[in-house]
Structure 1
Amino acid sequence: MAPSTSGGVQSLQRAFDLLEGLADAGGEASLSELAGTSGLPMPTIHRLIRTLVTLGYVRQHPNRRYALGSRLIRLGENAGRQFGTWARPLLAELVDEVGETANLAVLENDEVVYVAQAPSKHSMRMFTEVGRRLLPHGTGVGKAMLSTMPPNDVRELLRRTGMPAYTPNTFQDADKLLHHLGEIAQRGYALDESEQEIGVRCIAVPVRGTAGPAAISVSGPEGRLTDAVVDRVAPIVQRIAESISETLQSHK
């Protein structure tokens, strides 16, 4: 927890700590669970949560557990669009260098959300609508993001989402996926081998230094993204991911 000051600033910090605690818990927690993770006194938590519920940033379930509220969606969507605005010139640079469609995605409420795209100039190209949501175990960007997370956190996420198959190639076993994520972490990039869409291959790299997990990718027909092309393109995707990280740091 960051150092705090007195008065209203301290209350504001504590309120954000509780929102982040709910996010870390998968979007839902009880007051006692928040007390355990935040270290705040129960009366303080109760007072702050009541205010956040009134404002719509937290909602209370009938079982008296608390969840992230709908007013956060607008904030998240606008933050994602701003992130995409900063990254779009670098995604365009990536397309110029590799010739395939480039995407930027973030992990939000256990889902991959695409926040920016630069399309390929090929007549046959991959198109993912900005704003589209998918589960992370079945996408290259999702696997890249999961590879940066502690294994226990990944298991919990998979328990919450399940592992439905997008194609016959989608990972459906948590142990096998976790082993695969270790290989991704060592290699520095993920491959989607027709796991989200048959005939499509994707190279994805995590973007470091973001508030939450994020990744960029290039995707195209597997006939164009051959093994030789992957070996050439992966370092370029890694370099652009580093440039996006540096751009984010400069906007802080």
Structure 2
Amino acid sequence: MAQPTVQTIIDALIAPVGPLEQTVDTLKSGDPSMPVTGIVTTFMPTQRVLEEARDRKANLVIAHEGLFFAHHDEAGEARGGEVYRVKKQFLEESGIAVFRFHDYPHRYKPDAITEGLIRELEWGAYVCKHEPAASLLELPRATLREIVRYVKKKLDIPHVRYMGDPDMLLTRVGVLVGYRGGAATAVTLFEQEQVELMIYGEGPEWETPEYVRDALQQGRRRALIVLGHAESEEPGMKALAQNLAEQYPGLPVHHIRQQSLFHFD
């Protein structure tokens, strides 16, 4: 089997959706015709991740988020200053190709990033409905405390934020990754799908959390677990690495997990 090029792998990644006219998912650095010697998947293409990819002799990094501190490249380049310059120079000197894989996986059916989180939690058997921006599950009845502890253990994360009575028994769960915790999505699911517990990455704190606070005051069965943006989407990129390893068995494929962004005191 011929060694795949950067473009060959990009074409395979976008094939389930087809080319998008407007997307942030473009090749950010590197030569598309370059043969791939190894792949790294990651949530965020940080300086550390890029250096580790080089050390592992992987010349293609597939990242969910952007290189330069903003959703759109131009904004990050405009205000990144010396940090931007040094990172860009590293990429030019290393020859590493970086492809952003954000819009396409969220348009897979079902959403590949949400699927990765559900796979990591081993909840696939409990999915009863996939929405474009969420998945709905019927879990075996458990307390909020039990679910919080289970989620932390399965995702290997030290902290989550949650709302609700820890002893509340729950079964109907909504799962949303990334920045989907706003009221337009989360509160709508609470109301229209009889969701009892919402698990999401992040969202405006003045929207869904305030809805949950009022709902609890009214005696309603509502609970919320906030994982963090990276913590909710990292499993999707890990799952991508597993899929690529199966698709390209002769190619070294690694997933580099992010270090925790914040310290807790």
TM-score range (shorter-chain normalised) is 0.3 to 0.5
Higher relative contact order (CA 8 A, sep 6+): 2
The TM-score, its normalising length taken from structure 1, stands at: 0.34
The TM-score, its normalising length taken from structure 2, stands at: 0.33
